[in-house]
Protein backbone atom coordinates (compact mmCIF):
# COMPACT_ATOMS: atom_id res chain seq x y z
CA UNK A 1 0.00 0.00 0.00
CA UNK A 2 1.72 3.18 -1.17
CA UNK A 3 0.99 6.33 0.71
CA UNK A 4 1.33 9.84 -0.52
CA UNK A 5 3.50 12.50 1.05
CA UNK A 6 1.55 15.26 2.78
CA UNK A 7 2.07 18.49 4.67
CA UNK A 8 -0.56 20.09 6.86
CA UNK A 9 -0.92 22.89 9.36
CA UNK A 10 -3.07 22.56 12.47
CA UNK A 11 -3.24 24.95 15.41
CA UNK A 12 -0.15 26.76 14.15
CA UNK A 13 1.95 23.58 13.95
CA UNK A 14 3.22 22.26 10.62
CA UNK A 15 3.61 18.50 10.13
CA UNK A 16 5.06 16.54 7.21
CA UNK A 17 4.37 12.85 6.56
CA UNK A 18 6.95 11.44 4.14
CA UNK A 19 7.10 7.90 2.72
CA UNK A 20 9.99 5.99 1.12
CA UNK A 21 12.46 8.82 1.67
CA UNK A 22 16.12 8.37 0.69
CA UNK A 23 18.82 9.17 3.20
CA UNK A 24 21.93 10.79 1.79
CA UNK A 25 24.74 8.30 1.08
CA UNK A 26 24.81 5.01 2.91
CA UNK A 27 28.18 4.65 4.69
CA UNK A 28 29.54 2.18 2.13
CA UNK A 29 28.41 4.33 -0.82
CA UNK A 30 29.97 7.57 0.42
CA UNK A 31 32.16 9.04 -2.31
CA UNK A 32 33.62 11.83 -0.21
CA UNK A 33 34.77 11.69 3.43
CA UNK A 34 32.18 14.26 4.51
CA UNK A 35 29.34 12.10 3.14
CA UNK A 36 30.01 9.51 5.84
CA UNK A 37 28.68 12.04 8.33
CA UNK A 38 25.29 12.53 6.72
CA UNK A 39 23.77 10.90 9.78
CA UNK A 40 24.72 10.92 13.42
CA UNK A 41 21.91 9.32 15.40
CA UNK A 42 24.39 8.07 18.01
CA UNK A 43 24.98 11.62 19.21
CA UNK A 44 28.75 11.04 19.28
CA UNK A 45 30.93 14.12 19.03
CA UNK A 46 32.00 14.42 15.39
CA UNK A 47 34.05 16.85 13.40
CA UNK A 48 32.14 18.10 10.37
CA UNK A 49 34.19 19.40 7.44
CA UNK A 50 31.84 21.12 5.00
CA UNK A 51 32.91 21.77 1.42
CA UNK A 52 32.80 25.48 2.20
CA UNK A 53 33.34 27.20 5.51
CA UNK A 54 35.13 26.18 8.67
CA UNK A 55 35.00 22.74 10.24
CA UNK A 56 33.11 22.38 13.49
CA UNK A 57 32.25 19.81 16.15
CA UNK A 58 28.73 18.61 16.86
CA UNK A 59 27.01 15.99 18.95
CA UNK A 60 23.49 16.63 17.67
CA UNK A 61 21.48 13.65 16.48
CA UNK A 62 20.55 14.19 12.84
CA UNK A 63 20.33 12.82 9.32
CA UNK A 64 20.32 14.46 5.93
CA UNK A 65 17.53 13.25 3.68
CA UNK A 66 16.58 13.80 0.06
CA UNK A 67 13.41 15.89 -0.13
CA UNK A 68 10.82 14.00 -2.21
CA UNK A 69 10.28 15.82 -5.52
CA UNK A 70 6.56 16.21 -4.86
CA UNK A 71 7.30 18.00 -1.56
CA UNK A 72 9.85 20.63 -2.65
CA UNK A 73 7.17 23.28 -3.17
CA UNK A 74 5.59 22.45 0.22
CA UNK A 75 8.99 22.81 1.90
CA UNK A 76 9.38 26.21 0.23
CA UNK A 77 5.85 27.24 1.25
CA UNK A 78 6.55 26.42 4.91
CA UNK A 79 10.06 27.93 4.77
CA UNK A 80 11.94 24.72 5.57
CA UNK A 81 15.73 24.88 5.44
CA UNK A 82 16.95 22.87 2.43
CA UNK A 83 19.71 23.13 -0.12
CA UNK A 84 20.02 22.22 -3.76
CA UNK A 85 22.32 19.43 -4.96
CA UNK A 86 23.62 19.98 -8.46
CA UNK A 87 23.56 16.90 -10.72
CA UNK A 88 26.72 14.80 -10.60
CA UNK A 89 29.38 15.21 -13.25
CA UNK A 90 28.33 13.33 -16.36
CA UNK A 91 24.63 13.50 -15.37
CA UNK A 92 24.01 17.19 -16.03
CA UNK A 93 20.71 16.42 -17.79
CA UNK A 94 19.21 15.12 -14.51
CA UNK A 95 17.07 17.36 -12.35
CA UNK A 96 18.77 18.70 -9.23
CA UNK A 97 17.70 17.23 -5.91
CA UNK A 98 17.18 18.96 -2.56
CA UNK A 99 18.46 17.90 0.83
CA UNK A 100 17.26 18.84 4.30
CA UNK A 101 18.47 18.02 7.80
CA UNK A 102 16.14 16.24 10.21
CA UNK A 103 16.97 16.31 13.91
CA UNK A 104 16.22 13.79 16.63
CA UNK A 105 15.61 14.53 20.31
CA UNK A 106 14.11 11.68 22.29
CA UNK A 107 11.04 12.47 24.36
CA UNK A 108 8.23 10.31 25.69
CA UNK A 109 6.36 10.77 22.39
CA UNK A 110 9.27 10.02 20.02
CA UNK A 111 9.00 6.73 18.13
CA UNK A 112 11.94 5.27 16.19
CA UNK A 113 11.81 1.72 14.83
CA UNK A 114 14.16 -0.41 12.77
CA UNK A 115 12.43 -2.59 10.17
CA UNK A 116 14.21 -5.80 9.17
CA UNK A 117 12.54 -8.36 6.87
CA UNK A 118 10.56 -11.17 8.53
CA UNK A 119 10.64 -9.52 11.95
CA UNK A 120 8.46 -7.10 13.83
CA UNK A 121 9.85 -3.56 13.88
CA UNK A 122 12.42 -3.15 16.64
CA UNK A 123 12.01 -0.21 19.03
CA UNK A 124 15.13 1.96 19.16
CA UNK A 125 16.01 4.02 22.21
CA UNK A 126 18.41 6.90 22.77
CA UNK A 127 21.04 4.25 23.57
CA UNK A 128 20.42 1.99 20.54
CA UNK A 129 19.42 4.42 17.76
CA UNK A 130 23.09 4.92 16.85
CA UNK A 131 23.05 1.53 15.09
CA UNK A 132 21.38 3.28 12.16
CA UNK A 133 24.59 5.25 11.53
CA UNK A 134 26.37 2.15 10.20
CA UNK A 135 23.50 0.39 8.42
CA UNK A 136 22.68 0.38 4.75
CA UNK A 137 19.27 2.03 4.79
CA UNK A 138 16.83 1.40 1.94
CA UNK A 139 14.47 4.21 2.94
CA UNK A 140 12.61 5.76 5.85
CA UNK A 141 9.01 6.64 6.58
CA UNK A 142 8.93 9.67 8.82
CA UNK A 143 6.61 12.16 10.49
CA UNK A 144 8.35 15.49 10.95
CA UNK A 145 7.38 18.58 12.88
CA UNK A 146 8.54 22.04 11.90
CA UNK A 147 10.54 23.86 14.57
CA UNK A 148 8.88 26.78 16.33
CA UNK A 149 11.59 29.36 15.67
CA UNK A 150 13.48 30.26 12.54
CA UNK A 151 17.22 29.70 12.33
CA UNK A 152 19.65 32.53 11.61
CA UNK A 153 19.10 32.03 7.87
CA UNK A 154 15.36 32.72 8.26
CA UNK A 155 14.34 29.08 7.67
CA UNK A 156 12.82 26.41 9.93
CA UNK A 157 14.35 23.08 10.95
CA UNK A 158 12.55 19.74 11.04
CA UNK A 159 12.30 17.44 14.06
CA UNK A 160 11.53 13.71 14.02
CA UNK A 161 8.28 12.68 15.73
CA UNK A 162 8.04 9.14 14.32
CA UNK A 163 10.50 7.32 12.08
CA UNK A 164 10.59 3.81 10.62
CA UNK A 165 14.01 2.90 9.18
CA UNK A 166 14.04 0.10 6.59
CA UNK A 167 17.33 -1.79 6.47
CA UNK A 168 18.61 -2.55 2.97
CA UNK A 169 19.12 -6.27 3.52
CA UNK A 170 20.09 -7.47 -0.01
CA UNK A 171 23.26 -5.35 0.13
CA UNK A 172 24.18 -6.68 3.59
CA UNK A 173 25.32 -10.26 2.91
CA UNK A 174 25.18 -11.41 6.54
CA UNK A 175 21.72 -10.01 7.25
CA UNK A 176 20.44 -11.55 4.01
CA UNK A 177 21.57 -15.02 5.18
CA UNK A 178 19.32 -14.76 8.23
CA UNK A 179 16.42 -12.84 6.67
CA UNK A 180 14.75 -15.99 5.32
CA UNK A 181 14.70 -17.83 8.65
CA UNK A 182 11.32 -18.22 10.28
CA UNK A 183 11.64 -16.70 13.74
CA UNK A 184 9.19 -18.01 16.31
CA UNK A 185 9.85 -15.54 19.14
CA UNK A 186 11.14 -12.15 18.10
CA UNK A 187 9.78 -10.21 21.05
CA UNK A 188 13.26 -9.43 22.39
CA UNK A 189 14.51 -5.90 21.82
CA UNK A 190 18.00 -5.06 20.71
CA UNK A 191 20.46 -7.43 22.42
CA UNK A 192 22.73 -4.61 23.59
For 46, the domain range is 6-179
State the pTM of this model: 0.76
Spell out the residues 6+ positions from residue 148 whose beta carbon is closer than 8 angstroms to its own: none
Burial of 132 per CB tally in 10 Å (0-12, 13-18, 19+):
buried
Is 73 contained in some domain? yes
**30/151 Cα distance (integer angstroms):** 28
Is 48 contained in some domain? yes
Mean pLDDT computed over 119-131:
91
Is 185 contained in some domain? no
Residue 175 has pLDDT above 70, yes or no: no
pLDDT of residue 14: 94
Is 186 contained in some domain? no
Taken in order 108, 111, 114, 120, is the CA torsion positive or negative?
Answer: positive
- Looking at the structure of the chain, the number of domains it has is 1
**87/41 Cα distance (integer angstroms):** 27
**119/122 Cα distance (integer angstroms):** 8
Report residue 114's pLDDT band, with 50, 70 and 90 as the boundaries: very high
Amino acid sequence: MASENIAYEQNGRVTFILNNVDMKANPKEARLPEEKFNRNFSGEMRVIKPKQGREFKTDERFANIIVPKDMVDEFRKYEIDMWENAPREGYEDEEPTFTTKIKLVFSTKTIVKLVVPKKRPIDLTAETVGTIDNLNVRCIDVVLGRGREKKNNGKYQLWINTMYVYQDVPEDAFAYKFANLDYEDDSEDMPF
